Structure 1
Amino acid sequence: MPHSQDTFTFIDLFAGIGGIRRGFQDAGGTCVFTSEWNKYSVQTYVANFGQDAPIAGDITQVEAESIPDHDVLLAGFPCQPFSTAGVSTKNSLGRPTGFRDETQGTLFFEVARIIDAKRPMAFFLENVKNLVSHDHGRTFRIILRTLTEELGYHISYRVIDGGLFVPQHRERIYIVGFREETGFDVNSLVLPSERSVLASVLHPQDGSEGVEYPYTQGAQARVSDTYTLSDRLWAWLQNHAAKHRAAGNGFGFGLVGPEDVARTLSARYYKDGSEILVGQGGKNPRRLTPRECARLMGFEDSFVIPVSDTQAYRQFGNSVVVPAVRLIAQSMVPYLPRLDLVSRENVTW
């Protein structure tokens, strides 16, 4: 049966700009350790969460024993190609199997290494939907076997479309594990039924919101012309799409308006913005501003964006839908046994 408690501790691996942290922090958690290697992401992370303790860089160089004890491990680990030989073959050669096999070398196994050493009460992992089907499903079977058979955790997983929380189609897999059998099942979560549209994230451009330079300017806080596509780029995108249509391919730009739902925001958005272009009547369409991208991922307007537009687009395109993470976090919290919570004396953040 679920329990209740005042707070819990967590660590934030492959932290990015802190989208997963935001969801679990909003659910009452306290971060005690962070790892992120990208210096620009660290800049954004620190601007929003502070830096009372150093942020570890390359997690492969961090000794698991040096990581503070924690209740929940969080990781939006990158999905790299997985490859594994048969366990029987490895055993016959006297080689280690599972996540202990260094030749496998993928970043998921860094997560497994830390889970094995620290034995947190629970974990939360996030990845792209295609993780389930990668390599004909073998990749995901390895992950599940590692988490359950080798590490002994009780897990559930679910693909959820972020479009239930924000106006963009963004399917991601969420894997939740508990060290003990609790009865928690991410598939039992009740998801929102009403979808939002882009009007909820776009700058109104009517003076009803304050100016946020360099994204908006003037008395009406209109979007800067910087975000409108040049004639050359707009012509190129239209011609490129026409060639693909003629060849029977599916490529095309995503032209949207206030009542639409966007395609998935990607880390390549800074290149041409083709997946989400906002129509402007008689003008060329425009990219979303970084603030609109932040809103599209569920970040509140208080979220600080201290980096260039290029870096901001990359960061939000690589981030998570915060409200989706928050819902899962809030649903997990009652299942964290109160008596096993790590002492807050260990908190460094």
Structure 2
Amino acid sequence: MRNLLQTAFLAAGLSFIVPLSAQVKPGKGPDIPALTEGLQKYAKDLGNDFVVIVQKDGKDVYRKEFGELKATMQEPIGAASQWLTAALVMTFVEEGKLSLDDKLGDYLPIYQSYSKGYITLRQCLSHTTTIETDPPVFRTALKKKKFDTLEDEVNSFAKDRNMKGKQGTQFYYGNIGPNIAGRVLEVIAKKPFDRLMRDRLGKALGLRRTNFMSDGIYSESPSAGGKSSADDYIKFLSMLLNKGMYNGKQVLSENSVNEILKMQTANAQIVYASPLSQGNAYGLGCWLQEKDEQGNGILVNCPGISGTWPWIHKGKGYAAIVFTKGESPDQKRMIFEEIRELIEQHIPQ
């Protein structure tokens, strides 16, 4: 009897021990136990709190919450903001309100005044403006200089920065180009960038927790200031994978999606590329890790150093996101390559 009591107390005590790996919540959505077990090995690398969602044909084939982060929670998404910004620009293109090859001088006279008026929106979204820039800082809280508005910041690019060469000849990944493109949208629509994102992509996709609102310290940033949730961003990815369709509605035309996912940098010299994406080509606001002979993206992603790592694989027909807290450790490309391979090994083909 004494041994039985000791065994019972030992079992009860063990039930309160919390394992060091991320706690997996039951959550909603399909589970693949072998995939969940494999992902737990990367918990420390991902900051212990993360969400993984994989979709095919607009439906979840895998969804799991690890640690304390839920799929509905909003977090900063850093550089993954740029994919959304490119899509927002294409909504204006579809309406005939601008062309990707329009020149900045047509919308921002200050760029004409400082001999930068011939830069195009396409070059802004593909980081080939050749405007002198600093190494990118996609954690907005670390920005050294404060601008009250996006207009102030974009005007400073015209006044305070030199050209490093002819526009379109150099690729330098950073904040400048997407922020200029976002400012052009504000000029055309006479509305703040955040409002445009909500009114256009937000409403069309049902994005409840996605915005680019200023935090009162830094201005809105189309390049790095987005906040979203795993639930929201996977809707955007699913739309791209489904040729612009989401929930029975054509959010973007198939031509617009193809333009976003097509190589845009031509023969530009690569001066700086993100450590997460070196060797990849670039579309509009996204990296082409694999592409066909015509330069059309097959495996396309838009990772942030810390935050979210979204991608679509047109060849294998799935969209996926690994979503972490904004203050997670800086991510390593090798880790995400392993996670992507792990996902592809276990999801239905």
TM-score by length of 2: 0.24
TM-score by length of 1: 0.24
